[in-house]
Structure 1
Amino acid sequence: MKNFFTYIITIFLVCHLQNSRAQNSLSADSIHLYIKKAEKLQDQYKYDESLEIAKIALQNAAFNDDSKSKGLIHTIIAKNYEINEDDHEAKSNYLKALTYSQISKNKPLETDLYNNLARLYSKDKNTYQKGIHYYNQSYKFAVRLNDTSRMIRPLLNLSSLYINRKAYNKAYNYLSPAKKLIGNHTSSLDQVRLHVLLGKYYISTERYEKAEKYLKEAIFHSKREASINDKSKNNELTSNFYQQLATAYKAKSMLYYIQRDFKSAYDYQQEYVDNLLKAINLKNIIELQKANVKYQVGQYKEQIKQADEDKAERASQVIKWRIIIALGTILILISMAFLLSAYKNNTQKRKLNNDLLEKNKELLIAKEAAEQVSTLKSQFISTVSHELRTPLYGVIGLTSLLMENPEEKKRNEYLESLKFSGDYLLALINDVLQLSKIETNEVKLEKVSFDLRSLIEGIVNSLHTKQKSNNNTALIDIDPKINSTLLGDSVRLSQILINLIGNALKFTKDGNIWVKVQCLEYKNNVYKLRFTVKDNGIGIPKSKQKTIFDNFAQVKNQNLEYEGTGLGLAIVKKLIQLHDSEIHIISEEGVGSEFYFDLTYEKAIKAHEIALKTGEAISIGTSNFYVLIVDDNKINQIVTQNILKKKGYTCDVASNGMDAIEKLRSEKFDLVLMDINMPEMNGLDATKIIREFNPNIPVIALTAVEEGEVRNQALSVGMNDVIIKPYDTQQFFQTIMKNISKMKLM
């Protein structure tokens, strides 16, 4: 039937042409007119007519050996096939058009054809690399032509392609030049596309203010252009702007969802769905228009055929029946196409509604979670505020009493209380920071060699004051089958045990605390160990045992001076879970509590003690080392100086990085303790310069900044180690000796 209509149109056109020119010899001007006619019919959705006229023009262009026209005609034919989703024929004709554009040296057409081919090839994951190549070719040719609009098109297409594949850095390589090219002369659709793509890019790189700015611009321009084109009845362009508007709202919903503003995320999700439906409805109207055009074309063809039949004195009745059947088939196909389109539209609407309902559920859950977080936040601020004020009151009050020159006995008592308040404040701050790090997945387990017995004995000894205050005795029992030197994260194990042993000492009076390590299994140089911390203290009520590991959970005990924030066991639970294990509790009120958990560690070879090449071991406090303290805070200078002088060290002080550089150029020091944040020149910049003229001297960062934030920076500029203020004095000197020893061995 298609061949039949092709035959009718061809006869009509041939008859028309025979009145003025020979059948196969159209002039170049006439071919150009037919090209324009084919393009116009294409814009009117009359694809069959457009193809027929293009093919006639192609025959005559071939007869005249007109390569330029052949390139243009194959482009029209390819576009017809692409619109009707016949990508194979579209590619074939675009490639032919490309060949003829190269022969005729039609550079603007060649540029457009590379972009069109890229669009088709990038649809398929197996050929998208070829698509990227064609986009780049299109951009190169546009640059040679100095044609801004042709340059922008492939840049935006490449940006969109890479953003969809989450290759954001590559996307920005094309967004950046596109951003520079876009101006008032650029089409509104390209401006909107750029703003949407920039918004998506900045969301991916967590620059939310910039993302907000560009998405706001995209929404404003899309709304304005959609309204303008809607009034002019340009359904195709209006649909495109509604599609971009929907995309911008979807990105904005994601932006607010990431920032945990779930209400705004929900509202923008609604806007996304509304505008997407508007775009879909306009596309359905366009499809209906296309169907109507096809129907009108069918009527037009029937009239031509009827006229020909009249001239031929009413051809046979068989032909009439063919026409009737053909028209009936066309009407049925049009009806079916319309029904299918309506069905697809309804299916898509149902799917969108279902997706929206699911998204609404997620957002409602997120909203409830946000409210819960808000409640926890208020609880956290209230609890921490109370816990900070209590020891701070003690610090300020005791300091005032000390300034009044009390008798010696009272002075020692006040100093002990002052130290206790300071230690409590430090523990509180460390707990809050530790919990924050764990919950943001910043804590990673490390593997280092450590001595298990030394670690546990060190922890128990460090808690001696707590033992003494409640008259407790701590007992250590380590299975003799365990090799004392293990490989694992000793820092996290210390944090777990310090919290558990500290709690046992805190909630026990005149009693015992047992710290036990048992070997459950040893296989392939790997130990499975059970750690147990047991006490005979006040115990934990059954009603509290399920919630004791929650944030802020506390066991009330009126006899204790400080109850704490209730973060210790929450941290313990999360640290043990990082080891893929769980903590268990056995407790009875008034009898005592037992906490136990299982961890695995590899057997390690114990490291030999570091000694000088001369054979003389360096021990803490036995050598008079010369240390430069670089710190802008006078109190910190005094504290560090006095700690070092008690061990027999000699010190000098610099108040900033520039002073430190001058002193190091003129004097010879054994070690530098370098603060990070200082006026005039900070510690990082100073270390870079020091390393230019003194590459060997140990430089240790002595800073109050959290270690995770500063360690990589410090090591990258040439520092040897990091000590966090406030510090444990024993660890402080161990770090100093370790680094001086390394330098002496060089």
Structure 2
Amino acid sequence: MITYKRFYFVLFFCLSFILGFAQDTNSRRKEANELLKQAGNSFLKLDTKKSLDYAQKALITATKNNDDLIASKAYNLIGLNFEEFSDYQKAIEYYNKGLVLANKVNNDTVKGWLNNNLGNVYCYRKIDFQKGIKHYKEGLKYSIQHKDEYEIMFSKLNIGSAYFAVEDFSNGIQYFNDVKDYVDKNGDIESKISLNSNFGLYYNSLNNNKKAEEYYLKAVNYCEQNDVELIKSNASDVYHDISNFYYKIKDFEKAHFYLLKHDELQDKIYNEERLNDVKVGGLQIEHDEINREIDQIKKEKEIQAEKLQANRVFVILLGVIFFILMLLLLSLIRNNKTKAKANIDLKEANIALLEAKEKAEEASQLKTQFISTISHELRTPLYGVVGITDIILDEHKELKNSPHLKSLKFSANYLLSLVNDILKVYKIEENQVVLEDMVFNIQDELTVIKDSLHFLAIKNNNQIFIEVDNSIPEVLVGDKIRLSQIFINLLSNSLKFTYNGKIIVKAKTLQIVGTKYHIQFQVIDNGIGIAKENQNKVFEKFVQVYRKEDDYQGTGLGLTIVKKLVELFQGTIHLESEEGKGTTITFTLPLDSNISKVNAIINNLAVDVSVLKEYRILVVEDNKINQVVTKRLLENNNFKCDIVDNGYEALDLVDKIHFDAILMDINMPIINGFETSKLIREKGITTPIIAVTAFDKQDIEEKIIEAQIDEVIVKPFEGYKLFTTIKRLSK
């Protein structure tokens, strides 16, 4: 039971020289490559003397040129010659030398060749099958990395042959099955000899004599077609195997016939002259190897001498450095006194800085408290404005389409949103403001904005024109409130600084990606323009550009909020302006047009807020206007409510009447909403408590949890949100 050697790497090797030769500009490498090509061709013809001679010359040239890659290939060919003519230890020695150099230059192709060759010598020569299989698998790994089907085929043939050699047919046959189709279609004679002879061996082991003879005869047929000297050694082994097969089945005539063919080929291939050529060539190569080692030792001695000289210089330099360090040490001692005084001054400065830091933190805390207070004081009256507007719309259906009432409601909602954003400008920077998905029509939204700014437009005798591209879908999904804020800020600026002019609002589709419409918006005016040196400042916080007059008022946050909101939409914005001619602000926003998303949002909005059962609600609120708004809002939607002015009245009433929910104001005199809620819970009452407050939810979240309040709704709010919250909590 034997394995078959594979020399595909020699053929591939020779071809690689032909392809790479013209591209190599180094004359020594060209020379070495040509020598290796000739060595490979000679080896295929079993002209060992010439093959070793060429490989040796290539090795010498590569060594002089410090070309480790060429040297590794030369060692590969030298090892092949020794292996073929039975000096296996020397073959292993030269393969390993080549593998060291191939690893050094990290050439996976050559590493694959050398691992396959080491596998051959260990397995084919029956030295160590396990070690051989390990090298074969390492070679297969590199073949797979390069996706080279030809090399993968031979690697698997080698591994299968190795397993067969130790009669491990179950592991070996899978490798032959893997490559059978490829060999039959694309394989060369050598691979077909190997595949068929091994299948013969496999079926022989199963005592399937008919199949075994069929595959052996196929292998013999391919051997007869072969004219490569090197592959004749494989043919010799095939004749030997089929002779043994016929002997086993007692067909002695055929057994004798193929045994004679085996002996004849053996005598022809491994004659005395070739064996002597290998020995002579090997001695010369070993002699050269010894000379190279001697040269290497000489070089190392020269390097050591250079290092010794460098060490002497280093010692001198070290002495100079030591002297300089002593001078520095004396200087350091002298400077330490100066530094000690500086440290005292630094400590005093640090104390002053800590005091300043504490004052800054105190100022920051006061600012936060101020923002929270202002937020509450502004939202409370806004609740009244928004609520009364809703009441008018509910009670006077004939005013539903009134442009004045629409403008009032829009302005109230916008004012609320504007107040929130001005007070949260730093939270926007910290990405704490989240956009909401709403369904809207861009033409309608722009028209409402235009109408709401009508009085500001006629103040300076301006006109607003809207141009919307027909390619924009009828219905879009996005945060229309934030979009309105952007337009109102931009249009307000244009109207303030334009006289007897016009402002054009344009919207057109710039790009469509899936369901996302990237829409370019432009606000164009022919006003007084912005000076070039101020154009980069207008988006900064609290910056007001005083253009021709000094009476323009504002917070200096309008365009800052615009830029932050555009960035929240993941859009872009830029400004173009020329003094005396006008300003154009262009921004692009991605807005969704997904129909399923639109339907989902519409379905969510279509909440049935009608009350099937009678809900009784306790309203705890000290502000009379808010009492009226909340009561009317609830009663108009079939809720029954009781109103008290403070927490103590609420505590008395909850003992007497069962309520479905309690709407609790937070900022009340006598006793606040938090303390009232705690006392209600202490009574064991589990009625849902909904905090209806002008405070920002994030500012009171911890107190909400501590007071066991179930939900928070920030004033002003949409009525349906309150109704759905009541129904959800009272179930």
Q: Give the TM-score band, short-chain normalised.
A: 0.3 to 0.5
Please, what TM-score do these two structures have when normalized by structure 1? Answer: 0.36
